[in-house]
DNA sequence: TATATGATTGAATAATTGCTCAAATGTTTG
DNA sequence: CAAACATTTGAGCAATTATTCAATCATATA
């Protein structure tokens, strides 16, 4: 019931056939939203750095805070988001919590994007 | 001169050797920022849909507005950002402006992320 | 030339977000 | 048990942002 035709442009400007064809070829809305959530979580320097660091070494919250000169709280907040997206896992050892990457794909996605940005100049 | 040691955690908690090692292995700051900009621009449903649509067909602003039931203005604003990132190119034909994808990598990045989100359940 | 139309732009607004600060948890150890 | 410490959490705040609205630009055509 959301598919009602809303008139946005004059009929002459819109190529309805093309529009319909493209509409059918797009992924479903829920997949698009999941995709954007994946990209969004990598779209912040702090979080991306955390992911890159954890891809190399298992680190505790203090290590990450020191590494990026940020407060422990700020790191912890971001780790919570990364946990929510199941991108990182953790291991408790006494008071300390060691985080590491928990995703096989994210590394490849970042690597591909890295190739991309290197070619931009 | 920004490397000054800021004390964040007690010395015992931080594994300075590991931190130093990871710090050296990370990409330079400017590349990280470029990476986040790439991910950020894909991290919005409207923009991602535009990119996905333009990857399939060359479309005018009205086509896109109709396709996603959004105002021409909203689409145009987003297209401006995509132009700024050189992800789309355009072709003027009279009053109309036809947009299409202008990047070889973005498709692969989205495709890889798509595989990722499909495996999440 | 005047009008209509596709597109762009700038200002305004509401929503989101990343960080700080303060307080709370959980665990170790004196 | 109390103090210290690593971490988490929630509230608050400043900055960013996606959309709308109104105005403007550019082109076609009547």
| d(C-alpha B9, C-alpha B16), whole Å | 11
Contacts of B9 (CB under 8 A, 6+ apart): A62, A65, A66, A72
**Per-residue pLDDT tens over the stretch B11-61:** 888 999 999 999 999 999 999 999 999 999 999 999 999 999 999 999 999
CATH of the domain at A83: 1.10.10.10
Domain count, chain A: 1
Q: Strand order in B96-101's β-sheet?
A: B59-60, B96-101, B88-93
Quick one: pLDDT at residue B1? 36
Give domain status of residue B10, yes or no: no
CB B50 within 8 Å of CB B18: no
| d(C-alpha A94, C-alpha A39), whole Å | 34
CB-strand contact A62/C, under 7 Å? no
Instruction: Characterize the bridge pairing of strands A88-93 and A59-60.
Output: unpaired
Which A residues in the span 84-113 are in contact with B, Cβ-Cβ below 8 Å? 86, 96, 103, 105-106, 108-110, 112-113
Quick one: pLDDT at residue B102? 95
| d(C-alpha B48, C-alpha B39), whole Å | 10
Quick one: pLDDT at residue B121? 73
Q: Kindly tell me if the per-residue pLDDT of A13 is higher than 70.
A: yes
Give domain status of residue A43, yes or no: yes
Interval B80-85 mean pLDDT: 97
ipTM for the predicted complex comes to: 0.92
Which A residues in the span 45-84 are in contact with B, Cβ-Cβ below 8 Å? 45, 48-49, 52-53, 56-57, 59-60, 62-63, 65-67, 69-72
Q: Kindly tell me if the per-residue pLDDT of B5 is higher than 80.
A: no
Give domain status of residue B55, yes or no: yes
Give domain status of residue A65, yes or no: yes
Residue B99: domain span: 16-118
Helix (H) or strand (E) segment spanning residue A61: helix A61-68
């Amino acid at each position: 019931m959301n598919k009602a035709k809303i008139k946005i442009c004059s009929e002459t400007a819109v190529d309805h056939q093309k529009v319909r064809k493209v509409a059918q070829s797009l992924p479903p809305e829920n997949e698009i939203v999941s995709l954007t959530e994946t990209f969004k979580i990598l779209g912040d320097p702090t979080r991306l750095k955390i992911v890159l660091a954890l891809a190399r070494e298992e680190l505790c919250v203090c290590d990450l805070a020191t590494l990026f000169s940020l407060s422990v709280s700020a790191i912890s907040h971001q780790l919570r988001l990364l946990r929510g997206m199941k991108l990182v896992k953790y291991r408790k050892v006494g008071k300390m919590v060691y985080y590491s990457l928990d995703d096989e794909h994210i590394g490849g996605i970042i690597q591909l994007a890295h190739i991309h940005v290197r070619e931009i100049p």
